[in-house]
Amino acid sequence: MSVITRPWGRLTLAGKIILPLVALLVLLTIVLLVGFASGLLPSLLGLGGQLVGDNIDIVRFAGAATALLLFTVPTAFVIILMEMKLIAFINLRVGPNRQGPWGILSSTLHGFKVLAKEDFTPTGVDVPVFTLAPVVTYLGAVMTIMVIPFAPGLFGLDMNIALLYFFAVAGLGVIGLMMAGWSSFNKYSLLGGLRAAAGIISYEIPLILAVVGVVMLAGTMSLNQIVASQAGSFLDWYAFQQPLGLIIFFIAAAAETGRTPFDLNEADSEIVAGFATEYSGMRFGFFFFAEYVNLFIMSALTTTLFLGGWNAPLDAQPVLDFFNVALNTALDPGALGMGLLFLVALGPPLLIVLFALPFWMLKSHWSFLKSLVVGFLLFNLLVMLLVGIWAYATFPFVAGLFWFLVKTFTLVALFVIMRGTLPRVRMDQLMGFAWKWLISAALLNLLVTAAAIVVLRDPSMPWN
């Protein structure tokens, strides 16, 4: 063994990483050559392709679930950074500015910090329930994204009862909070879990009642159909047909996600960290990320139901048709012939120098090399902007995704601004506002909507 271990011990860290990778690549190459030569690999690929084709719905569901699960983590990091920056701006502070350019890596490093902390299980807890609670909470948030349509054709699953599925799965979150509070063997955790469950269950009623008016107007619970029924201008959005429903839904969504002024799940001045008092490490991180993922999901659902989803505020197609402009024409670079070669070879260097010259001439202390670096960055920004404009005009799903994300993150920013401005309410005020006011207002909105539908759609009326 010393013949093998002695050379291995003398390798540097880079050598210990590269050598196994090279050996793995050599082995993979040999296996591929033998597989193709024997005909085994093509037959296995054909069998796999047939198996995927026969179960395409299952494969699509699994792929969409995996993609959306991976999508939630960077989304949470972006919202955390947005929250730190906006609240710092509200408080006239600088905010995070050291980790990465303009502090953009600070939220990512926060996530790695939580991941690196010790995952400690206190004595006396119910270990299985204590371990599964953050998983249930996080998955309850993530699984709801499956039915949210981000753009035309860009969704995980379309169902006729998508809205019903959303609220049913979202209810799993409160089970996870109760599991965390009960299994921690801590009175503060138990009280925090009970408060969280009481608040969430109370506000789920007006939250669901607020969207019934939208369902009545659209005639479906499919989120894709609800977005399609709001096509046109912003005047066709349900926010203008259901203003009271939008206000009720927004307030209830703030309470559901535990945002200010309803952040009583972890009221530090009264109840320590609530249901998460005994949690540490990545298990606490799951609760932490679930809160921000829930914030994005509720903002996305508000956009889908009331703000037109992926639809643009104004339909530019009539204007383009008037001027006889077609933006969805496919580009054909080959039509340029030899000009394409010169454009690719000479265009980027000339544009970089052109962008660099003003900085070099106006800033005397800058070297020409530094000006070239700035010109290179500006050139890349220009290329990205042009590619984005071309993709927006050519592919409908790109335009839809752009407007959906703009509306959703605008609502996220509004939730963050609320956290930096509003004080926290008392628990009795939280519960009383839901049961005494929001539910009554939601029922009134239902009655008015039903009466309006009957009157406006009655053929005997003179305006029909």
Give the integer Cα–Cα distance in Å for 282 and 278.
12
Query: Across residues 64-78, what is the average pLDDT?
Result: 83
Q: What is the pLDDT of residues 203-244, one digit of tens each?
A: 999 999 999 999 999 989 999 999 999 988 888 899 999 999
**What is residue 273's three-state secondary structure?**
coil
- Residue 310: which of 407, 182, 376 has the closest Cα? 407
- What is the CB neighbour count within 10 angstroms for residue 210? 27
Q: Which of 41-45, 119-123, 170-174 has the lowest mean pLDDT?
A: 41-45
pTM score, two decimals?
0.81
Contact 88, 419 (CB under 8 A): no
pLDDT bracket for residue 277 (50, 70, 90): confident
Domains of the chain by residue range: 60-315+398-456, 321-394
Task: With a cut of 70, say whether residue 324 has pLDDT above it.
Answer: no
Q: What is the pLDDT of residues 118-151, one digit of tens each?
A: 888 888 888 899 989 988 888 888 888 888 999 8
Q: What is the pLDDT of residues 346-376, one digit of tens each?
A: 778 888 888 888 887 877 677 778 888 888 8
Tell me what pLDDT residue 330 has. 57
Q: Is residue 261 reached through a cis peptide bond, with omega within 30 degrees of 0 on the bond before it?
A: yes
| Residue 426, both tokens | 């008392």
Looking at this protein, which amino acid is placed at residue 70? L
Which DSSP string do the residues of 297-345 spell out, in sequence order?
Answer: HHHHHHHHHHS-TT--SS--HHHHHHTT--TTPPP-GGGGTHHHHHHHH
Give the integer Cα–Cα distance in Å for 225 and 227.
5
Q: Which of 191-205, 244-258, 335-349 has the lowest mean pLDDT?
A: 335-349
Give the integer Cα–Cα distance in Å for 80 and 412.
11
Look at phi and psi of residue 222 and say left if phi exceeds 0, alpha if psi is from -120 to 50, else beta.
beta
Burial class (CB in 10 A: 0-12, 13-18, 19+), 91: exposed
Q: Which of 2-6, 59-63, 196-200 has the lowest mean pLDDT?
A: 2-6
- Residue 86: which of 406, 422, 420 has the closest Cα? 420
**CA torsion, ordered 406, 412, 418, 420, to nearest 10 deg:** -100
Could you give the C-alpha distances from 92 to 263, 276, 411, in angstroms and in order? 23, 31, 22
Query: Across residues 105-121, what is the average pLDDT?
Result: 82
Task: With a cut of 60, say whether residue 1 has pLDDT above it.
Answer: no
